[in-house]
Structure 1
Amino acid sequence: MSLSTSARLRAALRPVLPERWRTPSTVVPVVRIQGAIGIGTPFRPAVTLSSVAGPLEKAFAVEGAKEVAVIVNSPGGSPVQAHLICRRIRQLAEETGLPVTIVVEDVAASGGYMIACAGDEIVADPSSIVGSIGVVSAGFGFDRAIERLGIDRRLYTSGENKAILDPFQPEKAEDVERLKEIQREVHEHFIALVKERRGASLSDDAELFTGAFWTASSGLALGLVDRIGDLRSVMRERWGDKVELRLMTKRTPLLKRLMGRGAEGVEASLPDEAMAAIEARALWSRFGL
């Protein structure tokens, strides 16, 4: 029997063994949050509050837990879903009194960094990418392409601003300015959250809130992370070699897994899958991943 198999067997048997036979250990529940936030299809589930709420609640409910560790590996995405997840983590931490350690893997940028701000401590690998505290919107303009193809765009609305930024119509300066106003407001909310959570740790670097991003080695000096390290090393240093890292997962019914369907049983179309994959790929590629 391998060491890892033996450890898993002991962990499984511990609850049913008499107290005197149990090997004492400290339990740290672990929740993994990985992927683009709010961008998905039934075949490619997105990171949303509904997708992580179950594992988070299980983690904070573990009897005898000393703290909760959350692994974050996300290039960002929906600011709303990122904020909801951040708030849920903080709500659960305050309700239970358990501290939260965020451990960054490849990247915690934009919405991924917003989630990381839910931690009482942020730990990252020296080469992890952190930051990107900004807001971005991207799209394509097809108006000249459909004109060359001889295609007419027929769009009917009630409300003069209902079809602003339609990709099949020429871009208007007033539409872009309206979008930028929304971006500025969302950006201000993001900055306020980072300042609230990171407080005096933040440096006064002029680029901090420009959307720039850094390795965690540089981010440490900027106050974006608290220490360089990895989950197991930090938890062993804090709680000893017998610490038990218990991964919380969301159970998916077997039938749904076999059928490849989402929670609602809605089949995804190939165009939807392709667009979701392209959008997620674009987010990751911004950080060289």
Structure 2
Amino acid sequence: MTQDNWKEESPRHDAAASEGQLADTQHRVLDNLVNSVVAEQRRSRRWGIFFKLLTFAYLFFLGYLFLASDRLQISGSADSLSHTALIDVQGVIADNEPASADNIVSALREAFEDNGTKGVILRINSPGGSPVQSGYIYDEINRLRSLHKEIPVYAVISDIGASGAYYIAAAADQIYADKASLVGSIGVVSAGFGFVDLLEKLGVDRRIYTSGEHKGFLDPFQPQNQDEVAFWQSVLDTTHRQFIDSVKKGRGDRLKQDPALFSGLVWSGEQALDMGLIDGLGSSSFVARELIGEEEILDFTREESPLERFAKRIGAGAVEALALRLGTEGSPLR
């Protein structure tokens, strides 16, 4: 090859070399891209597996809490040794509250059906609540007492046992309280507000459409209709009479003949003893030890399961729905 030919072929050689290098670079970039995509897919699969395992562990944990709480409830109430059964009535007596009829009645049935129960104590600390819920509990206490005549029922009032709470207590064989406890309030109340003058001052026109002459009665944004007020008062009086009848049935001749007794007033434990509203002064432990004769106390109060507490703590509606599915769940007048 002559020098001239070499000079002519040299640029061609350089171009071929450059093309080869470019091809190698493209292959490397493509390989890196493919490897990167594969690695990313592997990472995605690993994370997917991880989250699936985490979800499984979460559901397993919830199931374990439910089963564990269920076992605890069964082991705590099935044919245990001789004891006094204790059931707390705490807070407002209303549906979907700890002191609802469903919760209290369920606890009462478990306590009475336990072969080791020698007596039942209702430990009350409540200002009252729904007359309907209180009436359910009152009736169930009487029913269970008639079926299990050998098991006495005592109501023990701690800080307060008023209104619907005293309604419940009246079904017991005897009622005890502390000398400073608040007892009574045998009455019915329904309260509200009226905003008619306020709307006039603000220049607001109230509009309400009903089908039925009295469908909107007691509307706080409209003037009172005296016929409707009289009707509502009759409802309160009827409920009050039912309350009085139940207390008289439960307490009998122990009640003092005093017109103030059913006026809605509340008394201290010491005063309530003089009025015949209670039978003595004492605590739950006193009643268990001295009256029932069984100092060992077993608590039958229905409590939220760990699953229910967990659901409320995180505010997860889905978990609450799951609890309902699994069966772990348990009027303005007062």
Classify the TM-score, shorter chain.
0.7 to 0.9
**1:251 Cα offset (Å):** 4.4
Tell me, in whole angstroms, the C-alpha distance in 1 between the residues paired with 2:146 and 2:319: 32
Tell me, in whole angstroms, the C-alpha distance in 1 between the residues paired with 2:289 and 2:126: 25
Q: Give the match for residue 304 of structure 2.
A: 252
Contact 1:37–1:74 under 8 Å retained in 2: yes
**1:86 aligns to 2:138 (yes or no):** yes
Q: Which runs of 5+ in 1 are unaligned?
A: 1-11, 18-24, 267-278, 284-289
| Alpha-carbon distance change, 120 to 239 in structure 1, aligned in 2, over 3 angstroms | closer
Length-normalised TM-score, structure 1: 0.77
Q: Which moved more, 1:25-34 or 1:255-264?
A: 255-264
**1:135 Cα offset (Å):** 1.1
Q: Give the match for residue 195 of structure 2.
A: 142
Contact 1:26–1:239 under 8 Å retained in 2: no
**1:191 aligns to 2:237 (yes or no):** no
SS at match of 1:66: strand
SS at match of 1:207: helix
Q: Give the match for residue 112 of structure 2.
A: 60
- Specify the code of the residue in structure 1 equivalent to 2:128: G
Q: Give the match for residue 152 of structure 1.
A: 205
Tell me, in whole angstroms, the C-alpha distance in 2 between the residues paired with 1:130 and 1:16: 35
Tell me, in whole angstroms, the C-alpha distance in 1 between the residues paired with 2:318 and 2:155: 28
Counterparts of 1:109-258 in structure 2, within 5 Å, are 109-240=162-293, 243-258=295-310
Tell me, in whole angstroms, the C-alpha distance in 2 between the residues paired with 1:137 and 1:127: 27
- Specify the code of the residue in structure 2 equivalent to 1:226: D
**1:153 Cα offset (Å):** 2.0
Tell me, in whole angstroms, the C-alpha distance in 1 between the residues paired with 2:222 and 2:318: 36
**1:75 aligns to 2:127 (yes or no):** yes
Q: Which runs of 5+ in 2 are unaligned?
A: 1-74, 322-331
- Pick the structure with more helix per residue: 2
- Specify the code of the residue in structure 1 equivalent to 2:94: G
Tell me, in whole angstroms, the C-alpha distance in 2 between the residues paired with 1:37 and 1:263: 27
Tell me, in whole angstroms, the C-alpha distance in 2 between the residues paired with 1:109 and 1:263: 37
Q: Give the match for residue 27 of structure 1.
A: 83
Report the aligned-residue RMSD: 2.7
**1:37 aligns to 2:93 (yes or no):** yes
Tell me, in whole angstroms, the C-alpha distance in 1 between the residues paired with 2:161 and 2:89: 10
Larger Cα-atom Rg: 2
Q: Which moved more, 1:204-213 or 1:244-253?
A: 244-253
Length-normalised TM-score, structure 2: 0.67
User: For this pair of structures, how many residues does the alignment match?
Assistant: 244
SS at match of 1:133: coil
Tell me, in whole angstroms, the C-alpha distance in 1 between the residues paired with 2:240 and 2:198: 33
Higher relative contact order (CA 8 A, sep 6+): 1
| Alpha-carbon distance change, 250 to 46 in structure 1, aligned in 2, over 3 angstroms | closer
Tell me, in whole angstroms, the C-alpha distance in 2 between the residues paired with 1:263 and 1:245: 37
SS at match of 1:208: helix
Contact 1:26–1:243 under 8 Å retained in 2: no
Tell me, in whole angstroms, the C-alpha distance in 1 between the residues paired with 2:193 and 2:319: 31
SS at match of 2:242: helix
